[in-house]
A = this chain, B = another copy of it.
Amino acid sequence: MSRLLLRRLPTRALVHRPSHAVRTYASSTPAVPQFNWEDPLGSRNLLTEEELAISETAERYCQEHLLPRVLQAYRDEHYDPKILQEMGELGLLGATINGYGCAGVSTVAGALITRAVERVDSGYRSSMSVQSSLVMGAINDFGSAEQKDKYLPAMAKGKIIGAFGLTEPNHGSDPGSMEAVAREHPQKKGYYLLKGSKTWITNSPIADVLVVWAKLQETGKIRGFLVDRKQCPAGTLETPAIKNKTGLRASITGMIHLEDCPVPKENMFPDIEGLKGPFTCLNSARYGIALGVIGALEDCIARARAYALERKQFKGNPLAKYQLIQKKLADATTDAAYGTLAAIQVGRLKDEGKATPEMISMIKRQNCDRALHNARVLQEIFGGNAVSDEYMIGRHVANLYVTQTYEGQSDIHSLILGRAITGVQAFV
């Protein structure tokens, strides 16, 4: 299945590592075990050959094709939709889905892809997560056979771009209170009219198809709709971009305004009702974030380590020689290693049908929190130089704040866990 993905690999012998690479990916294991700061607790040992190969493919693409353009993209707040096509060509989109031209790889393999992308930029990863986990995932899990056939193959190739409209301006953490509504079209049979606003929607300004969750007026229950931009009459769908963001600037984010937008009934997900639908999708996306942010953290570690070894202060000693610096590096690598193991474990359980949403809350919360915290601490190693965006770490720090916040702000996940632990809810 994932041989598809492997076949698309550029010939390895031809590939040279880019000069800005700060991380190596040796695949041979030495006879006497040696500590590897890039994988301190030997998580590679838990991966299959196939997973290792997928990871390497994704890392190589990201380092060679994404890294060189991210700095300018972030400065300009510009997202190039061709990136999704490139990813599609490599088989990186919807990779855990079986069929429809998707690679059908393990949950862990899917997350190794997100980690590779997020090692470059959380914004690039966000765009891919929306495409893969939220939209393709929703269609695969809840779509009709026709919906799947229509959208999945083209989305897998990155030729159709998706967005996922759940969050509303007044209900960030409490989607159950959403105001978007779908009512029977008073004239046009077989159609609903959708009305409402969604915000902070990754990809929305460039999306071809938008999964929009809204309450069906007749039942009051939340249902999912595939809003296909080219079917929408002028003025019924607006997707303005949100500009001047303080993070994730290499991705594109916007709103969705639906003003009595007619959507044919066959574009509604047939069976799924209530919050179960969006939460299932979020669950997959959150899982990908949990390992994804480790990529960003690992990039911070690699850059901070390289800087600490190169930069000399006080009698010509490298910063790496100072205890206060070493502690920062030790703490960060520990959290990266622990977070990796936890994510792999939950991925395995997911594939065995043994994972629960609370497990994913736990790893999403913890890995985002620790990635952000450590990225900030590692930034200190650069001193004033971190103010130059060319050292890259400031971008990760700004991005990771967002990852801590979206798809369940950290405190919300604390309360989800608290409820699971105690049986008592404290949302008030």
Chain A contact residues, CB within 8 Å of chain B: 29, 33-35, 37, 40-43, 45-46, 75, 167, 170-174, 177, 200, 242, 244-248, 253, 305, 308-309, 312-315, 317-318, 320-327, 329-331, 333-334, 337-339, 341-342, 345-346, 348-349, 352-359, 362-363, 365-366, 376, 379-380, 383-390, 394-395, 397-398, 401-402, 404-406, 409-411, 413-415, 417-428
Contact = CB atoms under 8 A, between A and B. Distances in A.
6 contacts: A35-B359, A46-B345, A322-B323, A326-B417, A330-B413, A380-B411
Contact of A314 (B329, B349, B428): B428
Contacts of A334: 362, 365-366, 417
Given A313-B173, A321-B426, A418-B327, A354 B42 contact: yes
Given A45-B349, A421-B330, A428-B317, A245 B383 contact: no
A327 B34 CA distance: 31
Copies in the complex: 4
Contacts of A387: 200, 242, 245-248, 253, 401-402, 405
Contacts of A397: 401
Contact of A390 (B244, B247, B419, B426): B244
B384 A41 contact: no
Nearest to A171: B313
Contacts of A322: 323, 411, 426, 428
Contacts of A324: 323-324, 327, 411, 414-415
Contacts of A326: 414-415, 417-419, 421-422, 424, 426
A422 B309 contact: yes
Q: Would you list the 6 A-B pairs with minimal beta carbon distance, nearest first?
A: A326-B418, A246-B394, A330-B417, A323-B323, A35-B358, A320-B422
Contact of A386 (B46, B352, B405): B405
Nearest to A422: B320
A315 B402 contact: no
Contact of A41 (B43, B346, B404, B425): B346
B424 A321 contact: yes
A410 B380 contact: yes
A204 B352 CA distance: 49
Contacts of A170: 312
Contact of A428 (B34, B172, B321, B357): B321
B40 A305 contact: no
A122 to B, nearest CB: 12
Nearest to A404: B380
Nearest to A35: B358
Given A309-B424, A326-B414, A418-B323, A362 B172 contact: no
Contacts of A394: 246-247, 398, 401
A100 to B, nearest CB: 27
A385 B172 contact: yes
Contacts of A315: 428
Given A34-B356, A324-B327, A342-B341, A389 B305 contact: no
Contacts of A406: 384
